[in-house]
Amino acid sequence: MSVTEKLLALHRVDQKLTGLKSRLRQAEAYLRQQDTILSEIQKTHASLTSQVRQLEATVHNDQNEINAFDDRIAKLRERMQTASSSKEHSALLTEMNTIKADRGLIETRAVEALEQLDALKAKLAEIDAQRLEREKVRGVAAQDRDKRHTDIAEKVSELEAERERVLTEVPPSAITAYNELLELGLDDVMATVEEQDRRNKEYSCGACYTHLPVEQLNILMNRGDLTKCPTCGVILYLEQDLFDSITSDAEKKRKRRTMETLD
Ligand SMILES: [Zn+2]
Query: DSSP letters of 120-147?
Result: HHHHHHHHHHHHHHHHHHHHHHHHHHHH
Report the amino acid identity of residue 33. Q
| One domain, residues 223 and 140 | no
pLDDT of residue 16: 94
Contact yes or no for 245/22 (Cβ under 8 A) = no
| Rounded distance from Cα 204 to ligand 1 centre (Å) | 8
In the chain the first and final C-alpha atoms are separated, in Å, by 39
Tens-digit pLDDT profile for residues 62-101 = 999 999 999 999 999 999 999 889 999 999 999 999 999 9
| One domain, residues 28 and 107 | yes
Tens-digit pLDDT profile for residues 4-54 = 999 999 999 999 999 999 989 999 999 999 999 999 999 999 999 999 999
pTM comes to 0.69
| One domain, residues 63 and 148 | yes
| Rounded distance from Cα 245 to ligand 1 centre (Å) | 23
Structural domain boundaries enclosing 242: 186-262
Task: Name residues with Cβ closer than 5 Å to ligand 1, which is an ion.
Answer: 205, 207-208, 229, 231-232
Q: Where are the alpha helices (DSSP H) in the chain?
A: 3-81, 86-169, 172-183, 214-222, 240-262
User: CA 209, 213, 219, 222: dihedral to nearest 10 degrees?
Assistant: 90
| Rounded distance from Cα 228 to ligand 1 centre (Å) | 8
Contact yes or no for 235/7 (Cβ under 8 A) = yes
Please give the share of the chain, as a percent, with pLDDT higher than 70.
100
| One domain, residues 57 and 117 | yes
| Rounded distance from Cα 234 to ligand 1 centre (Å) | 6
Contact yes or no for 28/250 (Cβ under 8 A) = no
pLDDT of residue 262: 74
Tens-digit pLDDT profile for residues 108-136 = 999 999 999 999 999 999 999 999 999 99
14 is a domain residue:
yes
pLDDT of residue 260: 82
161 is a domain residue:
yes
d(CA 38, CA 142): 13
| One domain, residues 215 and 251 | yes
| Rounded distance from Cα 175 to ligand 1 centre (Å) | 19
Per-residue pLDDT band for 188 (boundaries 50, 70, 90) equals: confident
| Rounded distance from Cα 212 to ligand 1 centre (Å) | 8
pLDDT of residue 62: 95
| Rounded distance from Cα 177 to ligand 1 centre (Å) | 15
pLDDT of residue 261: 79
| One domain, residues 224 and 159 | no
d(CA 61, CA 69): 12
Contact yes or no for 35/137 (Cβ under 8 A) = no
Contacts of 106 (CB under 8 A, 6+ apart): 62, 65, 66, 69
pLDDT of residue 83: 87
| Rounded distance from Cα 191 to ligand 1 centre (Å) | 8
Contacts of 159 (CB under 8 A, 6+ apart): 13, 16, 17, 20
| One domain, residues 14 and 108 | yes
pLDDT of residue 106: 95
Tens-digit pLDDT profile for residues 149-178 = 999 999 999 999 999 999 999 999 999 999
The yes-or-no verdict on residue 187 having pLDDT over 80 is: no
- For the chain, the domain total comes to 2
Report the amino acid identity of residue 255. K
| One domain, residues 214 and 124 | no
pLDDT of residue 102: 95
179 is a domain residue:
no
| Rounded distance from Cα 23 to ligand 1 centre (Å) | 28
Please give the share of the chain, as a percent, with pLDDT higher than 90.
91
174 is a domain residue:
no
CATH number reported for the structural domain that contains residue 63 in this entry: 1.10.287.1490
pLDDT of residue 26: 95
Instruction: Work out the angle between the directed axes of helices 3-81 and 172-183 (0-180°, nearest 10).
Output: 40
| Rounded distance from Cα 235 to ligand 1 centre (Å) | 8
| Rounded distance from Cα 159 to ligand 1 centre (Å) | 28
d(CA 26, CA 104): 61
Mean model confidence pLDDT for the chain: 94
8 is a domain residue:
yes
| One domain, residues 18 and 119 | yes
pLDDT of residue 65: 95
pLDDT of residue 217: 93
pLDDT of residue 258: 86
d(CA 220, CA 167): 20
The yes-or-no verdict on residue 251 having pLDDT over 80 is: yes
Tens-digit pLDDT profile for residues 209-219 = 999 999 999 99
Per-residue pLDDT band for 186 (boundaries 50, 70, 90) equals: confident
pLDDT of residue 181: 95
